[in-house]
Chain A
Amino acid sequence: MLDAQNLVKSYPSAGRRLEVLRGVSLHMAARESVALTGESGSGKSTLLHLLGCLDTPDAGRISLQDTVLHDLDETGRAAMRRSRIAVIFQQLNLIPSLTVAQNLSFQARLAERFDADWTAELTDRLGLADLLDRYPEQLSGGQQQRVAIGRAVALRPEVVLADEPTGNLDEATADTVLDLMLDLARDSGAAFLMVTHSPRLAARLDRRLHLEKGRIV
């Protein structure tokens, strides 16, 4: 389903290029959940950004089903983000000017795949029914993350990518949020890749990949 081969990525840093990814390859099947772990600066977020069409590799190939991603221009990458790949970040996930209800349906409506019944079910399962008219700033961190998860799966994407989605949450809340993500990703048929520092959370996923100095070990 999602396939990446020999991904290389470097950034300019203090007058020279810093190699963040040095030939990373991975494959994910539908409904599979994968944890991506590694120390700070190992390239976890960079890999997630490349897979999420948020950035482009210097070299290597990425494909989703039959679509080659690494060759896409900005418009093509934006279309992928809009309709096939959903990304959940640790913070600043939501659009501050929109209510919870508007945030929840935003991406699905953007992709013209809004399903009112599915969104209503998500609202119930995420426990957001009483918060629909609130704005992001009026929510707790856990509540905000639940809205971000709902928005991602409301789209019924093929891949859900999460970049330390529970990093700001306490253990109990983090467990609840992860349960929800896994359940909903499975129910929507999506592959799920999560970047995390927590071995405890990583152990709950189907598979674990460890990044070290830009390589999967």
Chain B
Amino acid sequence: MNRTAFLALLSHWRRHPVQLVTLCVGLMLATALWSGVQAVNAEARASYDRAAADLGQTPLRRLTGDGPVPIAEFVALRRAGWLVSPVIEGDLPLATDSLRLIGVDPLTTPPRPGLEPLLEGGDALPRFLSVDGLMIVAPETAPLLDGPGLPPHIQSAQVPPGTALVDFRLAQRLLGRDGVDHLLVAREQPMGLPPLSEVTDLTLTEDQAGGDLAQLTRSFHLNLTAFGLLAFAVGLFIVQSAIGLAFEQRRSAIRTLRALGVPLRRLMALLAAELLALATLSGLAGIALGYVIAAALLPGVAATLRGLYGAEVSGQLGFDPLWAVSALAISLLGAAAAGAQSLWRVSQMPILSPAQPRAWARASQRAILTQLAVAVALLALSGALAFWGGSLVAGFACLAALLIGAALALPALLLGLLALLQRAPRGVLGEWLLADARQQVPPLSLALMALLLALAANIGVGTMVGSFRDTFTGWLDQRLAAELYVTARDPAEAEDLRAYLEPRADALLPIWSVDLPLRGAPAEVFGIVDHATYRDNWPLLDAVPDVWDRVADGTGVLINEQLARREDIALGARLEITPDWQLPVAGVYSDYGNTRGQAITGIDALSQRFPDRPRLRYAVRLPSYQVSEVQTALRADFGLPEANAIDQSAVKRFSLDVFDRTFLVSEALNVLTLGVAAFAMLTSLLSLSGLRLPQLAPVWALGLTPRRLAIFEVARTVLLALLTCLLAIPLGLALAWVLLNIVNVEAFGWRLPMTLFPADWIWLALWATLAALAACLWPVLRLTRLPAADLLRVFANER
């Protein structure tokens, strides 16, 4: 009995192959986008783990000083029996990028990932220690190192991308620095050692950096996951639409099977088994497609993470079986969720129910009003979370309630808009078009909801990125007021450069900084001179009246917005910079793109407390026509590398380039989501095209050609898409508001002003129209080619 009944159910798909394809492709797309995003996240996390296992992230103790740690300190500690090992880190500019150099001493360093090749015998260790040196880099970094002047390299997959492990002496030479950054202190030390304080003046700190990257990038991955979830939900709309239609069309078959003696429970089990089989096949195809999408997205994500957080993520995608299994599970769960309603309907269907398929998903007015009531409740919840939420999770919950609420409200809003349009004067066909469009809203509502979400995501993310870009560009103009930025390779060269530049420049502004923890988190403290460059240009968000006087005389400190928001520091509050140095906060400035806290005070006050910090960087004010000439001279006379004398426009260009790359992934996901929404519309229109005949045939019989009917079909679809687009604009702006004022503030610590881009909306309306046109093209072509006999069959008495 099972086999016979199952085959009878399956025969439906043979008669409706398009519906089968719709169901499978919908589930495949949903799984692909979700699992693709998850694969990207998993790869990024694997990279963080590798980075965390590296030197800078290992939770070891370290000895640091006010400035570079002299090698003599290392020697003294080793002689005293202390197991310490030197580490120096720095960025080495390359032709098109930079390389993170980590200098270690292979003979004293604790075991660490990446150094394995030195332990394998052979000549790797002698070469590593030799004068010429040897770099150990990740396979994806190797192609960047083909230029002249760099030591030879070998590869290890354990080294994070963009990083090179070298002998610390070679690092000193390449970075042009004396001493090292810190000394690692092994956890296990020999017995009977003299106290550290007797051997050295260096400070012992516990490294809190472990998992920093994972922590910093959490919000980014949450963002990505939210996008994946959105795409998954849009895909499930397609699946639910297809499953629902299939169940409706099989009402008569189901009734007959029951009448012939197949028990309801057996029938339900067979339907569930059919769904399980289809979901498994589609899920597997979705996983394969998801892997391809992830591989395509990963370079963009890597660029984003590098741009936003300085986190290096491998551009190569690995395959994790756990990922595949979880993706398949989510696919099956999604199919179950999409099919649950239909299965429930079958379970409730009386055996003597009408066999004629009802217009599927044609919700009654009451159902639409109920949906509207739920929508209003969700929108109210979203509003409440926006104003009283106060956390990142609340921010995302606010977004979810907003999007689901708006999607649920869509049918009622569209019906309202169409009713308004019906009041305007129109011809008989216009009247029919609008009335017909109203009738089509309920069965098309799932596809239209998918379109609404995709369009709103486009507007919301576009507005956020555009606002960010506008603010960032303006901020760069303010922040990068100096015409030239010069970095010396050592203190002696810094003195020479100063002497050279002083008579030529309008002003020479030192940029000296110290890395210090502020309120327990890593931060930078800068010292600046009193100059109009700062007074006139610095992007202050809030300040006391005499802010610059206070900063200049070292009686006040400026802090960046991130630090102020994270630690809830108000103007006038005292900020502890070191245990014996506290200053009142005199101003807060915007500092986009930086996740760390930052503070600025007078340079004299800073120098007095940190006299040994290297003073290598200068911002140079000079007439713009002299910039190129001075740059050339610096390179010629001092042999200064290009990267050490950068003009303002180059820095801006670089920053904006990083910015643009940062949001490449969002744009890619936007396009994919819109594509899925267009596919949802196509599948809905295709599914409905069979049910449309009884609605269109009377109009055809009354004297409209199939061609004119097709034109009206297109007009109706485009009208619904444009009205959806119209509603997507306020929703998208609300989404942007939440992103800018809640999610960004909670995730990054900065609040951005919102800028509107109406021209983008017009483009998006155009895209929505094109998506709707593309979606209705096939069903409409089928309509124009429909033989008269098919239309007449609608009226046939002897069917």
| Interface, chain A (partner B; CB < 8 A) | 11, 40-41, 45, 49, 52, 54-56, 74-75, 78-83, 87, 89-98, 102, 105-107, 109-111, 163-164, 167
Contacts and interface: CB of A to CB of B under 8 A. Distances in A.
Q: Which 5 A-B pairs have the closest CB atoms?
A: A82-B703, A109-B428, A81-B703, A97-B439, A97-B435
Nearest to B701: A87
B432 A95 contact: yes
B431 interface: yes
A107 B798 CA distance: 26
B795 A106 contact: no
Q: Is the interface of B mostly helix, strand, loop or mixed?
A: helix
B277 interface: no
11 contacts: A45-B798, A52-B701, A54-B788, A54-B791, A74-B705, A80-B703, A92-B694, A92-B794, A97-B436, A97-B439, A107-B703
B797 A167 contact: yes
B703 A83 contact: yes
A11 B700 CA distance: 21
A56 B792 CA distance: 12
Contact of A45 (B427, B431, B439, B797): B797
A11 B789 contact: yes
Contact of B796 (A11, A45, A52, A107): A45
Contacts of B695: 95-97
B703 A75 contact: no
Contacts, number: 89
Nearest to A89: B795
A102 B701 contact: no
Given A97-B436, A107-B703, A109-B428, A54 B698 contact: no
Contacts of A98: 431-432, 435
Given A45-B796, A110-B704, 10 more contacts: A56-B788, A78-B703, A90-B795, A92-B694, A95-B695, A97-B695, A98-B432, A98-B435, A107-B702, A167-B797
Contacts of A80: 703
A55 B428 contact: no
Contacts of B795: 89-92, 163
Contacts of B707: 74
Interface string B671-703: 000000000000000000000001101111111
A41 B798 contact: yes
Given A74-B705, A75-B705, A90-B795, A55 B698 contact: no
A81 B789 CA distance: 16
Contacts of B699: 95
B438 interface: yes
A196 to B, nearest CB: 10
A102 to B, nearest CB: 6
A89 B697 CA distance: 11
Contact of A97 (B429, B438, B788): B438
B732 interface: no
A70 to B, nearest CB: 14
B706 interface: yes
B798 A40 contact: yes
A74 B700 CA distance: 11
Interface in B694-728: 694-695, 697-708
B106 to A, nearest CB: 80
Given A45-B797, A95-B695, A96-B695, A55 B792 contact: yes
Contacts of B438: 97
A92 B428 CA distance: 20
A78 B788 CA distance: 12
A102 B431 contact: yes
A55 B795 CA distance: 13
Nearest to B433: A97
Contacts of A52: 701
A95 B698 contact: yes
Contacts of A92: 694, 697-698, 794-795
Contacts of B706: 74
A72 B436 CA distance: 29
Contacts of B701: 52, 54, 81, 87, 89
A96 B797 contact: no
Contacts of B436: 95, 97
Contacts of A94: 698
A96 B439 contact: yes
Nearest to B694: A92
Contact of B792 (A54, A91, A95, A96): A54
Contacts of A90: 795, 797
Contact of B702 (A41, A82, A163): A82
Contacts of B697: 92
Contact of A81 (B429, B702, B794, B796): B702
Contacts of B700: 78
Q: Report which residue of B428, B694, B697, B707 has the largest number of chain A beta carbons within 10 angstroms of its beta carbon.
A: B428
Contacts of A96: 439, 694-695
A95 B698 CA distance: 6
Contact of A110 (B703, B791, B792): B703
Nearest to A167: B797
A106 B430 CA distance: 11
A97 B702 contact: no
A106 B798 contact: no
A166 B291 CA distance: 62
A96 B443 CA distance: 14
Given A75-B705, A110-B703, A164 B698 contact: no
Interface string B72-113: 000000000000000000000000000000000000000000
B163 to A, nearest CB: 66
